[in-house]
């Protein structure tokens, strides 16, 4: 298979890319950090592109160069997050988050859709977050942008289901990535139900193989979010904002 992973140069995207390479598939990845690109081990079936996924022309050029008209899976894994726990986001930080998390994901859907419709098959997956499942006053720009990702998945699934194209919304809890450690002074011990990148990658690949509409994991986090969702928004907001201020 030919698989393209936007944001596949680090974190969960890179973990998924490595799994697919181990299975013998052709994989294309893209990212904007040259440092991260240089750190990736070379592989004969791996192609790496440096670009911003919200730059649709560059993104589309890379995917077409990789796919040559054949694309089995597109995974929108790129994401932007800025720590807003201790300070307000700058306008540039907020806009960049929206451009990457929303515009970039939309670009992935549109680029993949065009290729897959011609072939009558394919699968698109996008990485959201359990943070997107809780709607309350004071929710972060990040969580709201990731809620949009879930909505995009639902809309494209409905639009493409009759044309042999599947869509999966991937909604993970905490994953032990370098980025998460950077944001938490290398201490992730207080993150509930945290997973390794390898564990999360296995679940993502399996959910695509099974053509799942969405996958919320790990199970304990799914249960916790379901319980929290039962609270009235006002009470939920009080609980989560107090928890946020304690971090």
Q: What is the pLDDT along the chain (247 residues), one digit of tens a residue?
A: 999 999 999 999 999 999 999 999 999 999 999 999 999 999 999 999 999 999 999 999 999 999 999 999 999 998 887 665 555 788 888 898 999 999 999 999 999 999 999 999 999 999 999 999 988 777 788 999 999 999 999 999 999 999 999 999 999 999 998 888 887 788 888 899 999 999 999 999 999 999 999 999 999 999 999 999 888 888 888 777 666 555 4
Domain boundaries of the chain, sorted by first residue: 2-243
Give me 24's structure tokens. 């013998």
Phi, psi of 231 (to 5 degrees): -75, 145
Distance CA 168, CA 127 (A): 9
Q: Are 177 and 197 in contact (CB under 8 A)?
A: yes
Cα separations in angstroms, 71 against 43, 125, 156: 19, 13, 17
3-state helix, strand, coil split of the chain in percent (to 5) is 50, 15, 30
Distance CA 80, CA 108 (A): 15
What length is written for the chain? 247
Beta-bridge partner residues of 217 = 172
Q: Are 23 and 45 in contact (CB under 8 A)?
A: no
Q: Are 80 and 101 in contact (CB under 8 A)?
A: yes
pTM assigned to the model: 0.92
State residue 115's pLDDT score: 98
DSSP class of 162 = G
Give me 216's structure tokens. 């919320």
What is the per-residue DSSP string for 84-147? -SSSPPPHHHHHHHHIIIIIIHHHHHHHHHHHHHHHT-EEEEEE--GGGG---TT--HHHHHHH
Phi, psi of 72 (to 5 degrees): -90, -40
Give me 47's structure tokens. 């192609």
Residue 116 neighbours by CB under 8 Å, 6+ apart: 71, 74, 122, 124, 160, 163, 164, 165
- Residue 214 DSSP SS3: strand
Q: Dihedral, CA atoms, 28, 196, 145, 63, nearest 10 degrees? A: 0
């Amino acid at each position: 298979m030919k698989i393209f992973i936007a944001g596949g140069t680090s974190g969960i995207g890179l973990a998924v890319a490595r799994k697919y390479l181990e299975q013998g598939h052709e994989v294309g990845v893209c990212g904007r950090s040259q440092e991260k690109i240089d750190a990736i081990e070379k592989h004969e079936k791996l192609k790496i592109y440096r670009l911003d996924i919200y730059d649709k022309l560059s993104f589309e050029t890379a995917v077409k160069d990789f796919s040559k008209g054949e694309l089995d899976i597109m995974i929108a894994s790129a994401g932007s997050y800025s720590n807003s726990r201790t300070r307000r986001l700058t306008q540039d930080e907020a806009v960049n988050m929206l451009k990457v998390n929303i515009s970039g994901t939309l670009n992935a859907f549109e680029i993949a859709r065009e290729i897959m419709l011609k072939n009558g098959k394919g699968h698109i997956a996008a990485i959201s977050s359990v943070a997107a499942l809780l709607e309350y006053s004071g929710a972060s720009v990040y969580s709201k942008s990731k809620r949009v990702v879930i909505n995009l998945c639902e809309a494209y699934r409905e639009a493409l289901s009759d044309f042999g194209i599947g869509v999966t919304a991937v909604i993970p809890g905490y994953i032990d990535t370098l980025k998460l450690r950077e944001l938490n002074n290398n201490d992730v011990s207080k993150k509930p139900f945290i997973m390794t990148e390898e564990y999360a990658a296995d679940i993502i690949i399996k959910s695509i193989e099974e053509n799942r509409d969405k996958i919320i994991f790990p199970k304990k986090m799914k249960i916790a979010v379901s319980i929290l969702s039962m609270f009235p928004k006002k009470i939920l907001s009080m609980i989560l904002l107090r928890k946020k201020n304690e971090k």
